[in-house]
Amino acid sequence: MVKVAVLGAAGGIGQPLSLLLKLNSNITELSLFDVVNVPGVGADLSHINSDASTKTFLPSSKEDKTALLGALKGADLVVIPAGVPRKPGMTRDDLFNINASIIKSLAEGIAESSPKAFVLVISNPVNSTVPIVAETLKQKGVYDPARLFGVTTLDIVRANTFIAQLHPGDSKPSDFNVNVVGGHSGETIVPLYSIGSSASFYNKLSEEQKKELIHRVQFGGDEVVQAKNGAGSATLSMAYAGYRLAESILKSFTSKEEVVENTYLNLDASIKGAAEAKKLVGGLEFFSLPVKLGKNGIEEVKYEILTKVSADEEKLLAVAKEQLAKNIEKGVAFGK
């Protein structure tokens, strides 16, 4: 029995993400929460003849907390794409003022109704919203850092696609699983193309092409924001990426093989490898890195990758760390 709750289920990401989750045979119950339109989304999905049951929860007023608490009750995994997306000319940090309080109130609901759930945070700015959730759960005395995941999977998905596009004929996107570390906005996103199966392809590029490729991964979100021209940001590719992380987590419960994904996590000393990682990232409390997944959440941080980076990547990391420190501080201060 696996219950998954989607908070913000009627949105641009929430709808296709809920569709993908409805198709997952490991999920028995899908719980859809939003402040608008969610009954229609639920009715539509409920006709699909996959086995997960579908329930919807819509608050009757701003003060009504029962819908959220009902949606979350007994949830094993909670995915949060609730909040506002960017318009052209905005940074992810510009979303902080609106999304920070949305995230905080949702985290309070989680603390009350599903304190043991795995929480996957999609809402931007991820660099700050994840610390907000951590602080909120800490205050409520239910925080387990191994169960909190900032969703940065879209950066990896993009990094794989964009390098393959530079080598048409001799590679395809599915050949790659590029490590992208750091955070999830602009220069805090650091693709480590020099490591693993991407290295030989990356090394064939000119210096100019390398720079352009890294910039494209760091600012890939802007491409979609501009193309949508005021109608929002990435939703379909994001639903795919969020689903990939959720699916991997569920798979890790029963898999005999190691399941590893990248996530923006709290480098808390209770997690194996986190103290080593924290030292390597200059003491930052949050950072996206590959982690080993399992029944209890994040079982181990694969920090070794940080010891293998090239001199150029080291420079990118220095910039990322400086910006991340500010984003984390802002989230922690708000969460408190």
Report the interface residues with ligand OAA, using CB under 6 A.
85-86, 92, 124, 154, 221, 224-225, 233-234
Q: Which does 224 bind (CB under 5 to 8 A by kind): ligand OAA, ligand NAI, none?
A: ligand OAA
Residues 161-190 that bind ligand NAI (CB under 6 A): 184
Q: What whole-number distance in Å separates Cα of residue 157 and Cα of residue 244?
A: 10
For ligand NAI, the closer of residues 114 and 235 by Cβ is 235
Burial class (CB in 10 A: 0-12, 13-18, 19+), 271: buried
Q: What whole-number distance in Å separates Cα of residue 208 and Cα of residue 143?
A: 45
Give least dist CB 152 to ligand OAA, A.
Answer: 9
Q: Rounded to whole angstroms, what are the CA distances from 55 to 44, 51, 135, 193?
A: 11, 13, 29, 42
Q: Kindly tell me which residue out of 72, 75, 102, 132 binds ligand NAI, with binding defined by CB under 6 A.
A: 102
Residues constituting the chain? 336
Give least dist CB 12 to ligand NAI, A.
Answer: 3
Give least dist CB 237 to ligand OAA, A.
Answer: 7
Q: Rounded to whole angstroms, what are the CA distances from 66 to 58, 74, 316?
A: 9, 14, 45
Give least dist CB 184 to ligand OAA, A.
Answer: 6
For ligand NAI, the closer of residues 152 and 198 by Cβ is 152
Q: What whole-number distance in Å separates Cα of residue 187 and Cα of residue 183?
A: 8
For ligand OAA, the closer of residues 66 and 97 by Cβ is 97
Q: What whole-number distance in Å separates Cα of residue 5 and Cα of residue 30?
A: 6
Q: Kindly tell me which residue out of 31, 124, 188, 198 binds ligand NAI, with binding defined by CB under 6 A.
A: 124
The catalytic site residues sit at 184
- 69 neighbors 109 (Cβ within 8 angstroms): yes
Q: Which does 136 bind (CB under 5 to 8 A by kind): ligand OAA, ligand NAI, none?
A: none
Q: Kindly tell me which residue out of 32, 45, 54, 85 binds ligand NAI, with binding defined by CB under 6 A.
A: 85
Give least dist CB 39 to ligand OAA, A.
Answer: 27
For ligand OAA, the closer of residues 53 and 226 by Cβ is 226
Residues 190-249 that bind ligand NAI (CB under 6 A): 232-235, 238
Q: Which does 196 bind (CB under 5 to 8 A by kind): ligand NAI, ligand OAA, none?
A: none
Give least dist CB 260 to ligand OAA, A.
Answer: 21
For ligand OAA, the closer of residues 93 and 276 by Cβ is 93
Residue reference for tokens 């009627």: 10
- 159 neighbors 196 (Cβ within 8 angstroms): no
For ligand NAI, the closer of residues 245 and 280 by Cβ is 245
Extract the tokens encoding 14: 């929430």
Residues 4-63 that bind ligand NAI (CB under 6 A): 7-8, 10-14, 33-36
For ligand OAA, the closer of residues 129 and 136 by Cβ is 129
Q: Which does 182 bind (CB under 5 to 8 A by kind): ligand NAI, ligand OAA, none?
A: none
The binding site for ligand NAI (CB under 6 A) comprises: 7-8, 10-14, 33-36, 81-86, 95, 99, 102, 106, 122-124, 126, 151, 154, 184, 232-235, 238
